[in-house]
Amino acid sequence: MQIIGVTGISGAGKSTVTEMLCNMRNAKSINADEVAKTLSKKRRRIL
């Protein structure tokens, strides 16, 4: 298994690069912002 992290400032193209990588490698992605939002809605503690 290979894990690739994509980081950068707002507007840097992270989503675009992630979409391209997923299409090229038939991979899945995890959006950390969405995970944090889901957890905060469930009132779980986020480290």
Class of residue 14 by CB neighbours under 10 A (exposed 0-12, middle 13-18, buried 19+): middle
Q: Give the per-residue pLDDT at 45.
A: 60
Tokens at 14, concatenated: 């992270």
Cα separation, 13 vs 9, whole angstroms = 9
Q: Give the per-residue pLDDT at 47.
A: 59
Tens place of pLDDT for every residue, the chain, 47 residues? 889 999 999 999 999 999 999 999 999 999 988 888 888 887 656 55
Q: Give the per-residue pLDDT at 19.
A: 95
Q: Give the per-residue pLDDT at 38.
A: 86
Q: Contact 13/19 with Cβ under 8 angstroms?
A: no
Q: Contact 38/44 with Cβ under 8 angstroms?
A: no
